[in-house]
């Protein structure tokens, strides 16, 4: 067990919100401050979870019903938590995760209509309600996000674009879901305006992180 406490930060948001770009920039920010950092993702983040990722993110949008999709997500998540996240935190590392359980609340709970309570029950069963220390929710209009996501996948064959193809109404429910999550969890969640260029969004993110973690020696 490390004498330095670990720190778990999740990155959330709709498709094309720029999470992946900003997570790498925050990694560099922490490393400049002498912290050991791992960057991981969901679904995925461990060998078993990466196998489940392929089942979830490829194929026809209707490949799974909402309940099956949720069970696969949490099977992947449990393996990820037990094999990757908890060990890294025990070693005092900063864990930056591209999506975590809030994505299941937003995608399957709000997007597919299962309801937030259904997902929170699975969350408790699968990982005991384990949560990040801080969750950054990158928010921007649905049309902008889908345009960005479409450009990203345009030249990639067999792209992991199953969720991007679920339609504008689904993605609007998703965005509303993330906003509701932030409203209901103010002690943990912060919305970051993802409109604007990379540097502007980065500056907003660092302002949030610096403020939220000011008492943790950063």
State the binding site for ATP: 13-20
Binding residues, by number, are 13-20
Conformation bin of residue 13: beta by default, left when phi > 0, alpha when psi is -120 to 50: left
Q: Are 197 and 161 in contact (CB under 8 A)?
A: no
The sign one gets for the Cα dihedral 169, 124, 67, 104 is positive
Q: Per the structure block, which two tokens stand in for 131?
A: 């949560």
Q: What Å distances lie between residue 163 and 67, 111, 177, 198, 215, CA to CA?
A: 15, 10, 15, 24, 38
Interatomic CA distance for residues 106 and 195, integer angstroms: 20
Q: Per the structure block, which two tokens stand in for 50?
A: 């990466």
């Amino acid at each position: 067990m490390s004498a330095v406490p670990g720190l778990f930060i999740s990155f959330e948001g709709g498709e094309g919100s720029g999470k992946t770009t900003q997570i790498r920039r925050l990694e560099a920010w922490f490393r400049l401050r002498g912290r050991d950092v791992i960057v991981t993702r969901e679904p995925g983040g461990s060998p078993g979870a990466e196998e489940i990722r392929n089942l979830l993110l490829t194929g026809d949008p209707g490949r799974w019903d909402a309940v099956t999709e949720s069970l696969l997500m949490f099977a992947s998540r449990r393996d990820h938590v037990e094999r990757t996240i908890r060990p890294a935190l025990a070693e005092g590392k900063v864990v930056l995760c591209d999506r975590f359980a809030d994505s299941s609340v937003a995608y399957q709970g709000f997007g597919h209509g299962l309801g937030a309570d259904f997902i929170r029950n699975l969350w408790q069963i699968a990982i005991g309600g384990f949560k990040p220390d801080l969750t950054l929710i990158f928010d921007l209009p649905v049309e902008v996000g889908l345009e960005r996501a479409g450009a990203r996948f345009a030249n990639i064959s067999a792209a992991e674009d199953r969720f991007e193809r679920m339609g504008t109404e689904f993605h609007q429910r998703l965005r509303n879901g993330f906003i509701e999550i932030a409203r209901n969890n103010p002690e943990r969640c912060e919305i970051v305006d993802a409109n604007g260029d990379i540097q502007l969004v980065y500056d907003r993110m660092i302002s949030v992180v610096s403020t939220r973690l000011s008492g943790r020696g950063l």
